[in-house]
Chain A
């Protein structure tokens, strides 16, 4: 037996039960679902009829509970299920929910919540005001520790292969923390400006807003913060770890190599990049034309590396990796990409005027490309290189640029849809379902035409033949895709072949071996090759991919190299600690409604026959960036912006925490899970949720409490100090129309308590209570009621029929004035407080897996012989304390807990004697 008793819930009933049992010497496990013990009572202003401070009564009990040597308290924990064990006790599965904060280190200083960039309704303030996703439950919380509210990994983060925390930089941007947003991107890669333009934005495909009216412009927000940084800052502004004394060579300076180098340099390693070309950047510089990705953006991104000491040696082709390693490096990262271009298998390919796509784009990027004024260009192939080449040709003066593709329709092209759409819009022409049979040449040896034949698709491909029509040239943006069925000829002054890219294995074939196709043979997780010091990153390991995937691969490789250099295992850890992805439907279900917001989109300038290389996409304005970011639904709640982690003085933030599930054995169970409050919007005639100045009594208690969410009692509609306040009793109790015929017992008294407190806090305020019957049946309760009347509170007997709102936010209450003739009367108030009743908390009923916990006809926990054995349930060994069994005020709850404790003690002692007798 691990514990004598399990107590479920730490409200006043649970605390009282736990303390009394612990004082008797029993070992108690107290499980509380919230982050603090105390339940609802600690949130009250004062208690009736003594008007003692609720905190003053609860506080010592909370402290005793948490510090009692016989009580083990698990806050922010839940019970998964409880079953009977073979010893007459219970087997309990306890789930300690991940807090993402190391409570042993947390000092409760509240820096995290001040820095947090996500606002959510504060359940501890009855949702009158926001709290933060990083939060301490309330000022008097015991234990006073912080929690990160996480419902999962946001879909945008989960979708990013580069490991960039999109939700994080979006929430930073909406807060105006642009530099922090840029820095969060730098945590993953130095290529922020590049990805802000050239990424295909898988994050946007994951965005839950796309289920509403359209995705956030996540990529454009990244671009905004990058542009903002480069316009206002010198250098990246990042911290670099102290030198490790280790050195790493990175071969290749594309996105993977640059990212690997960046990560390694930030870890304090000395990094040298060897680049075969005359300038660094790889595909980002040489493969993406400047109208899509300006070279100064690439250069600004690359300058991030040199600013932290990365040495980039250009015109430095590596021919022997072993020799490179032996020249003084501790490890080598090969990131040479996939740049070997497939050759066209047709006569005439060696003619003058036939070039490969990458070499054409590279020359054009270096501004040594051909002058194509008046020339006709044919591009063979349909990948992104082909699209870029055709669009570049138009800008170099070509009269036409025609793409000849074997694909049967635009959607079957081996490029992103946007590449095709933009190319077509600029006037690139397309011939689908077509192969090149021959390149015709003039006597001088120059290409003159391309002879085309219909492409015969493999039988497994449906795409190629679907749209078969004729071999005519079409402008794809204006006409549906067509296909050739007969041989044809296209006049060409320049032919650019773009037939796919793969990996050149010549550099590593002997040292590391060749895996799938011509890729390097490397462990898929660690990216380590059989030469332990050699790691692979990017396309050389994965085959042709995207820039974003290459960045992710470079980041992974760097992490593995760093561990390798430190002598750490490359297994047994997660590179990105992600929770399960938050589902769109769960995010949408959190909202009663979502207001339409016009999606913010980038403006792309697409002209027919463009003649300049100016960037075609305009960046967002600051207003657009913030507005776009403001549409974020905070899917995972915490955005992972890392501001709390950066600022926490105790370094207590731990995003790797996970729920901890354990099994314990207990001898008895006390259910003290309390009650729920009636949902006031179920009485629509009272206008709660519709009129801002109609609030619940729990909200008023928060407004009256010293730790109130406002500076004083104010009405939520406009922040005005209310002069005329009405209470409506029996809201949701003694009301068969809402399924609750029961009296909640304490609503009259807490209303009277609040009446008195309001008159103390707002001496000029008039307080009126509309009641059905005044129930003041406890010790000194009637006197308390009389005292309120003497203080000036008015009490009007009669049911309120309806509340309407006036233009200024005041409320017109329509009621039957029973004591003055029964007429229908209307009265105007500044604020209306609904004295809501209670409802059973049904969270507990499915916890017991062997026999169901008995409930009464109103779904409270049943006490089969409440008169003779209060606290006993239908399950031997399971007891109930407090309002889990029905409506009780605080005094009665404490009494009931005492009764339950006595029952528990009797049960445990009986079990003990029975065991001893069995031994005898």
Chain B
């Protein structure tokens, strides 16, 4: 990965800002975190914070089991911002 990790407080604060792009990214099909990261152009470690926050508060849920590479895909639950 070789990237500088930002202060988690700062990253988590941005969760609210990231709801819309993440929901847009998974609108058509469930995506794994690396896929979401690629779609929205943000580092995967930051996307983990956002996806897990959104999952916790009912915006996303995992869709099925993990794939062969060990990644779960996440789908929108339908809860609106």
Contact = CB atoms under 8 A, between A and B. Distances in A.
A711 B58 contact: no
A593 B9 CA distance: 10
Interface string B14-38: 1111011000000000001110010
A119 interface: yes
Given A119-B16, A130-B15, A807-B2, A717 B44 contact: yes
Interface string A563-607: 000000000000000000000000000111111000000000000
Interface residues on B, range: 35 or more
A113 interface: yes
Nearest to A175: B16
Contacts of B6: 593, 595
Contacts of A691: 1, 5
A626 interface: yes
B44 A175 contact: no
Contacts of A590: 9
A120 interface: yes
Interface in A692-723: 692, 709-712, 714, 716-723
A717 B52 contact: no
Contacts of A692: 1, 5, 45, 48
A809 interface: yes
A717 B48 contact: yes
A348 interface: no
Contacts of A296: none
A591 B51 contact: no
A719 B81 contact: no
A127 interface: yes
B76 to A, nearest CB: 14
A132 B59 CA distance: 14
What interface size band does chain A fall in? Answer: 35 or more
Contacts of B37: 718
Given A176-B81, A626-B17, A692-B1, A719 B71 contact: yes
Q: Is the interface of A mostly helix, strand, loop or mixed?
A: loop
B32 A594 contact: no
B8 interface: yes
A121 B69 contact: no
B14 A711 contact: no
Contacts of A120: 9, 12-13
A51 B37 CA distance: 37
A712 B71 CA distance: 11
Given A118-B16, A119-B15, A721-B66, A716 B1 contact: no
B16 to A, nearest CB: 4
A119 B12 contact: yes
A228 interface: no
Contacts of A632: 13
A690 B7 CA distance: 10
Given A692-B1, A716-B48, A719-B51, A592 B7 contact: yes
Contacts of A910: none
A809 B1 contact: yes
A129 interface: yes
A119 B13 contact: yes
Contacts of B15: 119, 130
B10 A595 contact: yes
Contacts of B70: 720-723
A805 interface: yes
A602 to B, nearest CB: 20
Nearest to B71: A720
A710 B47 CA distance: 13
Given A128-B52, A692-B1, A594 B10 contact: yes
Interface of B: 1-2, 4-10, 12-17, 19-20, 32-34, 37, 44-45, 47-49, 51-53, 55-58, 62, 66, 69-72, 81
28 contacts: A114-B57, A119-B14, A119-B53, A129-B52, A130-B15, A175-B81, A591-B7, A593-B10, A594-B7, A634-B13, A690-B4, A690-B5, A692-B5, A692-B45, A692-B48, A709-B52, A712-B72, A714-B48, A717-B44, A717-B48, A718-B48, A719-B32, A719-B44, A719-B51, A721-B66, A805-B1, A809-B1, A809-B44
Given A119-B16, A633-B13, A808-B1, 12 more contacts: A113-B57, A120-B12, A128-B52, A130-B15, A130-B52, A130-B56, A593-B6, A593-B10, A626-B20, A692-B48, A720-B69, A807-B1
Interface of A: 113-114, 117-121, 127-130, 132, 171, 174-177, 590-595, 626-627, 629-630, 632-634, 689-692, 709-712, 714, 716-723, 805, 807-809
The 5 tightest CB contacts between A and B, nearest first, are: A719-B33, A721-B70, A692-B45, A130-B12, A630-B17
